[in-house]
């Protein structure tokens, strides 16, 4: 099933090593029309980029099925972050059929088996600039998710 369509903030692969596209999810489990409409709403207010402060000193193992309509049974670990202007971004989400979490985070590793996760902490937090994108997450394998725009 995957996570249908969504809007992300992506960042350079040089920031963290992942097998999938490095990102912070704004919204997921969307239909295609709502995904595009949300993307353009965010772009029109904030432009194509945003900053995220990432807490790399505290690696987190995230619950599977963390979104309300999520039944992927996919475990993950990563770092929590603060997306700049999150409260304003979140206020835009109420106009769309989507899932989101106030626990902004980036996933470093996904697995169907929680015991396969290998979290690690870093010595310093990071401030990163991310680019707004639309993404197709219909595949069960995060390595096959792809940016649409």
Give CA–CA dist 1/101, Å, rounded: 19
Report yes or no on whether pTM surpasses 0.85.
yes
Please check the confidence at residue 73 and state whether its pLDDT lies above 90.
no
User: Averaged over 93-111, what is the pLDDT?
Assistant: 95
Which tokens is 74 given? 């996919």
With a pLDDT cut of 70, the percent of the chain lying above it is: 100
> Which DSSP state fits 65?
T
Mapping DSSP onto H, E and C, the string for 113-136 reads: CHHHCCCCCCCCCEEEEEEEEEEE
Those residues with Cβ within 8 angstroms of residue 112's Cβ, 6 or more apart along the chain or in another chain: 73, 74, 75
Q: State the pLDDT confidence band at 96, using cuts at 50, 70 and 90.
A: very high
Task: Supply angle C-alpha 53, 139, 98, rounded to 5.
Answer: 55
CB 132 within 8 A of CB 42: yes
Give CA–CA dist 113/86, Å, rounded: 31
With a pLDDT cut of 90, the percent of the chain lying above it is: 91
CB 133 within 8 A of CB 7: yes
């Amino acid at each position: 099933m995957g996570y249908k369509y969504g809007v992300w903030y992506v960042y350079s692969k040089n920031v963290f090593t992942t097998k999938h596209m490095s990102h912070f999810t704004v919204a997921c489990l969307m239909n295609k029309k709502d995904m595009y409409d949300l993307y353009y709403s965010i772009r029109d207010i904030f432009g194509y980029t945003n900053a995220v402060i990432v807490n790399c000193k505290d690696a987190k193992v995230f619950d599977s099925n963390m979104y309300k309509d999520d039944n992927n049974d996919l475990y993950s670990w990563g770092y929590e972050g603060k997306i700049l202007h999150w409260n304003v971004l979140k206020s835009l989400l109420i106009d769309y059929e989507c899932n989101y979490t106030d626990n902004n985070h980036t996933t470093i590793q996904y697995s169907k088996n929680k015991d396969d996760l290998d979290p690690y902490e870093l010595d310093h937090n990071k401030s990163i600039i991310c680019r707004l994108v639309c993404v197709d997450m219909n595949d069960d394998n995060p390595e096959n998710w792809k940016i649409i725009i």
